[in-house]
Amino acid sequence: MISIQVPCSTANLGPGFDVLGLALSLYLELQVSVISSSSRAHLNCEITCAGLGAENLRTDPEQNLITQVALYVLRCHSQHEFPHLTKVHIINGIPLSRGLGSSAAAVVAGALLANEVGRLQLTKDRILDFCLMVERHPDNITAALYGGFVGACLSELDPEDAARVEVPLAEVLPEPAGGVDTGKQPPVPPLGIGHFERFRLSPDIKAVVVIPNFKVDTAKAREVLPNQYSRQDLVYTSQRIAILTQILGQPPTDPKKVHLAMQDRMHQPYRANLVPGLSKAIETLTPSSYPGLLGVCLSGRIHFQDSMNESKRILIQ
């Protein structure tokens, strides 16, 4: 059996919209068995699901995000379907559509799955390229694939490639995601379409995640954002990103500096209406009102403990 484990992630950390990501200790796990068998399943793949939101996860390999991504990667390597009867048991520990990068974890898990069952021997950096063709959020994707506290940037895609329906999601599309088989070779990612750096994270920093009992789809949370920003807001936010990436790695952590550096004008003010209580929490929870607190932010749209998790592949024979 092959076991694939991918962590959830929090994106942005305040000002680092689409830039900063941090892996946290909730996991998506796949238990995969590959059986050389003459019995057939659709595209040679059988999916079962357990864990959070299992009842909402699709079991058709052409509809489930994990297997859609795996099929996309396999098809880029001239493998039209799963090579042998592949049984994928999904154990989901990441709340869906709550801003903890469940889709990024699914995308990374799908690419790792294809790499294993298709014996593709892709490097991690090449796997990153495939993931970034699918989900254009390098913050969540790099955190999920490499673990830790990361900053990422993305090269622009050729608009024709970005529009190709063989790519399961182009950014984050409404359900059902694409990933259709047109019989043509899907667009193979250019080399090195994303770049990331890992930053230090002081061991004295811990995170607390508040998981709402309602969903906010990433696509909706992006629709409310403006297309243009003022120079003041861009400068305000860039200044804080630069400071934040350094001070989170310098123990003992200075709460006042972190709090200042976690202020944002790119996304949180526009998303406040989608998340009741967010503005009040950001305004009232400060290091002065709650000693020991560093900052409050909207995750994607938070346990810093054990945050060096990276996607793991464990082969159990």
Ligand X SMILES: N[C@@H](CCOP(=O)(O)O)C(=O)O
Binding range to ligand X, per CB under 6 A, among 100-108, 175-183, 199-207, 275-283 = 100-108
Interacting residues of 280 by C-beta distance below 8 A, sequence separation 6+: none
Binding status of residue 99 toward ligand X by CB under 6 A: yes
Query: Distance (Å, rounded) from C-alpha 115 to C-alpha 252?
Result: 41
Instruction: Please identify, using beta-carbon distances, which residue of 198 and 222 lies nearer to ligand X.
Output: 222
Query: Distance (Å, rounded) from C-alpha 298 to C-alpha 314?
Result: 33
Selection from ligand X, ligand ADP, none that 139 binds (CB < 5 to 8 A by kind) is ligand X
User: Nearest residue to ligand X, using CB?
Assistant: 300
Binding range to ligand X, per CB under 6 A, among 71-79, 137-145, 251-259, 280-288 = 137-145
Q: Is 9 left (phi over 0), alpha (psi -120 to 50) or beta?
A: beta
Under 8 Å between Cβ of 161 and 30: no
Instruction: Please identify, using beta-carbon distances, which residue of 69 and 128 lies nearer to ligand ADP.
Output: 69
Mask: binding to ligand ADP, 261-280, rule CB under 6 A, as x and -?
--------------------
CB of 245 to ligand X, least distance (A): 16
Under 8 Å between Cβ of 142 and 104: no
Burial class (CB in 10 A: 0-12, 13-18, 19+), 163: exposed
Binding range to ligand X, per CB under 6 A, among 62-70, 206-214, 215-223, 234-242 = 215-223
Listed residue (145, 165, 188, 139) closest to 68, CA to CA: 165
Under 8 Å between Cβ of 23 and 8: yes
Cis, bond preceding 176 (omega within 30 deg of 0): yes
Under 8 Å between Cβ of 29 and 313: no
Mask: binding to ligand X, 51-90, rule CB under 6 A, as x and -?
----------------------------------------
Binding range to ligand ADP, per CB under 6 A, among 96-104, 124-132, 238-246, 266-274 = 96-104
Residues that bind ligand ADP (CB under 6 A): 28, 57, 64-66, 90, 92, 96-104, 106, 172, 175, 217-218, 300
Residues that bind ligand X (CB under 6 A): 11-12, 17-18, 99-101, 103, 137, 139-140, 218, 221-222, 267, 300-301
